[in-house]
Structure 1
């Protein structure tokens, strides 16, 4: 009699074990989610007899995309062998138990990321049949030395790949504020949403073939994500977002229509979520004083009137701007080791339209090698542009007031590894200036001090007009410094301290015009709400201190948000996993006035199915 063809039985994909080994168990263990360049295994049971190498063979087909094709790397056929070949898709086996085989499958480091279908073809005793083993997901692997996204430090991998919590830094360089952000890259459904974003973004790729193998290259993947995550025109206020998950879910449920709107911080944070979800180490970076829409990439022009009021011009100097950094080895630049690459999903308006910069090698920005990268000159100008102040003297005439080479690219910040503290990474982008940074102001120059207040700023501009021939106070023999005597708190007056010094032997008679106006964080001047005049007489080589007070009632109409210290929460009862619990949330009014139209936003990872708003 002829031997019977072997019959396959149950297949155990061994998902929990594989997910733990591949650091993907944070997604859950009900799906097969693995990282390329690292083998995973599963078990195949046979119904009627033991496996026989002389009569039985198995081959596999792995497919991804809408139109899988071997020529572009989206389809691969390979046979079950005796050992693993790490240069390509391969599989090997060993006996496990009676009528059971342990199969090890290896996805190479150039495999395309995304959802794949695995089919098994069994040939036994001249009979062939197929068995679909279902789908599985492949991600980039920062734990694999052969993957371009490899990161050698485990603490760095935990922070930039596995950590779902982050901190965003905003404000101005002298008063940096922070707020938490929930990236949520391992939340239910986020992986499928991120892959859907790649599907939609395929049209943005330079290759017209949607099913090309660009998904195996982190550079091309990052370009697609960067160009997809950039609509911010109208809709919800940016500060209403506390995490990426609601934004991505709204985009997915809304049939991939843009979610509006987000500032640079939320755009960079959502991109960071997508990149970490796909396995690319990423972090959000904040740059303080960042030019946007500048006609001359290396010069930002600011326009003032004779009272010191900032006028709206064509150029814009944002008080802060966020982008994303992703870690990868740039094969297109012949890099053998990974390094940080800049990706800015916020559109930059240029004379040729809007663009999204990156990926740009951070070191190339520091060294000025601007011909190496995607839009490297735009990133360089944001960090090294000079600021020129002009005094408006009518509709067509203006006088140059000052030229400042230092305002842009200050205190570049990101979250520290393993803590919520801020790390200053300015030296990664810029060489330290080898000169004294003490400023001697122009006799008609404006000293600018910005106070952070939620999504708006209060801008204090101090003008020191004289009839001196020289445009600089240092030439005129006057040194001046201005600072806040106290940290501004909503509900309290703001105290400004002036330090004036006469460097000459003759007395000085100076007149100061002071004004304050609201500035948005993107450099848009609003109404002037306070101004004053002060006359100061300085004797020969005399120094004086003066104080100016901005009364709270002058700026109390600016919208604000209560500090977290004013909000209290307490759990009522002992919390238990998978059980409903009750919490009491209360807040106290720290101001000497009534608060109206208050809104309390509640959001918690694993605690609420969706964010809750209480008015």
Structure 2
């Protein structure tokens, strides 16, 4: 038989229902399956136990009431459905869902289908099926209150051996394999169908209503998952590239890029979107996000809901964020290596948010959720990422007369910041809600930062709109535009200014230095040759006419930004300053804050300088002051001088925080002209890399051995060490405590 996409499909065992599958993709060994009901009811699984009781009672109650209602009806001579068969694995192969663990469940396998395609379904009747005698209606129901008008209920009469409706409607045809008591059908799911769990109800009556109007109703309790379909041209998530579909939908492992701009590295991550826990949680998140049932076929609304539901800020989503370094009552964000362990914790703990995550963990979870639902998705990292809190399209930093940064600004309400990196997601879809040309990749962000429509959610924002500076388009375009384009403005205390501050610097090219994702079809386990630069997708080349036009276009649409851009420096600048960038240092080494100062004038200049070194979180928030120096010096005409601040390992090691990020500030003032200069730089203190060696070529279902090792570069031992290990399709995530210390300059294996 050929379906609507001209694909040949032949279901197995046309004359009789095939037996349940005897194979499984499950990776747990026998005896490991957890019996949640046997757990301590007051422990972490109590909520799950309680919810299962409610669900079981509710289903039993509904079933009894249906049975009672049926018995009260007058006897009907209509045929009766005894059971259904979903051809789960046959359909899964055709719908490219065969990798889902739920398809292979030995007890309750689930049909997982993609919209915009046909699938096979068989009904077994009590008596032989006769198309001329039996009137059969398929009712596919979605959500808690199915409605034909809202597209959450489909009623399909079984009448023909051909499809008769348009591609926008549910339809079915009788397959030639039908015989005796078995009715075999090919059912078409429109490409606009709601995404999530559908349930089937079959109503059987008589074609000749003079013989009776009674109906027999069969309710199938099978959860049928319907997903988005990037292989279908009629679906709004259609992606016309086999390699990209393989990378952004099927690939269940990848990388999330982290670190400072100059030393970005790909952090391996196991997305695990086909794991048995992933798809049910993804559908649950849509419920948490309060997306209307009638909107769940719209990928724009679905991904916006995902951005809200992955974090715990509003609906008690999957993950709780924390950035202060205090993780004693949970798991530190940097210890996660994949999404499955987090999703399992979420379910086992009664759907309570898991502790803790940060932006790259939120993004990785979004990738898992989107790919499990069939939405092409990638994790994207913006290096030197702006967080504009007052919608000015600028990042404003205020400094007192003695060179200290004034946190919160003059009014205590300005908490603009620059994150060393920030990770969000791109999702692929058409945007029929926007003018033509704004489809394709869209940015969404699940890290809770700023409210949008009274919820911690962000996007989808068209990358093309960001590139053009069209910030008036839905959703949250000004925020994302500022993340990659904001100009950095430094303000100095100035008693002669009308509002007490004057701008001493505007850096137009500091923010959005690089935007990275894992490249399509590439895989580098030992380096980062598999990274792809996305800067051109988000912004025009720095200092180009197009780039400045995009800024002006955005400023024109933002009143607050217009006020900030009106300020112009008026002092004479005849002394040049250059802060020497630090690429990296290895833990244990010292570093220097160095500024080269040159007097370009023909007169002597007296200069005040302030140099500061701080440890910072990757969000740019200060952790600890490490060292500060200030002083004055004189430069003769055309003279040059270096000023420096040296920081020893003994001065910074106790003040390092996760990611080992450092920020250095330099502020200088020229006494004679009032010229003020400032600059900043970020770098990281690098740790030794973990070396992984596999003893032999791994084989399916054969144990293998891997060795992990590294060398301690410090003059002191390392204690309280842990390993987090994960592998897609290989093993369940594991956290391993290392009970021995690693001696100074010693090796760990």
Counterpart secondary structure, 1:109: coil
The answer for the alignment partner of 2:196 in structure 1 is 114
Q: 1:326 to 1:351 in 2, by over 3 A?
A: closer
What does 1:32-71 align with in structure 2 at a 5 Å threshold?
32-44=111-123, 52-71=130-149
Give how far 1:518 is off.
Answer: 1.2
**465, 468, 472: which is aligned to 1:367?**
468
Unaligned runs of 5+ residues in structure 2 are 1-76, 105-109, 313-319, 323-329, 409-413, 524-529, 546-568, 660-684, 739-749
362-371 or 492-501: bigger deviation? 492-501
1: distance between equivalents of 2:348 and 2:366?
Answer: 18
The answer for the alignment partner of 1:386 in structure 2 is 487
**723, 726, 730: which is aligned to 1:603?**
726
2: distance between equivalents of 1:525 and 1:574?
Answer: 46
8 Å contact kept, 2:370–2:377 = yes
Q: 2:311 matched to 1:230?
A: yes
8 Å contact kept, 2:78–2:216 = no
User: What does the per-residue CA deviation read over 1:236-280, in whole Å, with 9 as the maximum and x for residues that have no partner?
Assistant: 322122222222222233333222332222222212211111111
RMSD across aligned positions (CA): 3.5
The answer for the alignment partner of 2:536 in structure 1 is 427
1: distance between equivalents of 2:488 and 2:439?
Answer: 34
What does 1:22-41 align with in structure 2 at a 5 Å threshold?
22-28=95-101, 29-30=103-104, 31-41=110-120
**373, 380, 383: which is aligned to 1:278?**
373
1: distance between equivalents of 2:501 and 2:602?
Answer: 33
Give how far 1:515 is off.
Answer: 2.5
Give how far 1:192 is off.
Answer: 0.8
User: What does the per-residue CA deviation read over 1:95-128, in whole Å, with 9 as the maximum and x for residues that have no partner?
Assistant: 2276455421111112111111123344568685
1: distance between equivalents of 2:388 and 2:606?
Answer: 40
**382, 387, 405: which is aligned to 2:508?**
405
The answer for the alignment partner of 2:363 in structure 1 is 268
Q: 1:48 to 1:355 in 2, by over 3 A?
A: closer
8 Å contact kept, 2:592–2:644 = yes
8 Å contact kept, 1:316–1:522 = no
The answer for the alignment partner of 2:74 in structure 1 is none
2: distance between equivalents of 1:14 and 1:218?
Answer: 28
2: distance between equivalents of 1:486 and 1:274?
Answer: 36
1: distance between equivalents of 2:588 and 2:219?
Answer: 67
The answer for the alignment partner of 1:200 in structure 2 is 288
User: What does the per-residue CA deviation read over 1:136-183, in whole Å, with 9 as the maximum and x for residues that have no partner?
Assistant: 110011111001111111111111111111222223323323312222
Relative to the length of structure 1, the TM-score reads 0.81
Aligned positions, number: 568
1: distance between equivalents of 2:701 and 2:96?
Answer: 24
The answer for the alignment partner of 1:444 in structure 2 is none
1: distance between equivalents of 2:725 and 2:456?
Answer: 35
8 Å contact kept, 1:283–1:414 = yes
User: What does the per-residue CA deviation read over 1:375-431, in whole Å, with 9 as the maximum and x for residues that have no partner?
Assistant: 22222233332222134589x955542122222232122221112522222222222
2: distance between equivalents of 1:264 and 1:352?
Answer: 21
Of Structure 1 and Structure 2, which has the larger fraction of its residues in strand?
1
Q: 2:443 matched to 1:325?
A: no
8 Å contact kept, 1:343–1:358 = yes
**65, 80, 83: which is aligned to 2:162?**
83
8 Å contact kept, 1:312–1:525 = no
Counterpart secondary structure, 1:26: coil
Relative to the length of structure 2, the TM-score reads 0.68
What does 1:100-499 align with in structure 2 at a 5 Å threshold?
101-123=183-205, 129-133=216-220, 134-202=222-290, 205=291, 212-231=293-312, 232-234=320-322, 235-292=330-387, 294-305=389-400, 308-313=403-408, 314-317=414-417, 318-333=419-434, 335=436, 338-349=439-450, 355-392=456-493, 398-420=501-523, 421-434=530-543, 476-484=573-581, 487-494=584-591
The answer for the alignment partner of 2:27 in structure 1 is none
Q: 1:341 to 1:54 in 2, by over 3 A?
A: same
116-125 or 534-543: bigger deviation? 534-543
2: distance between equivalents of 1:18 and 1:600?
Answer: 40
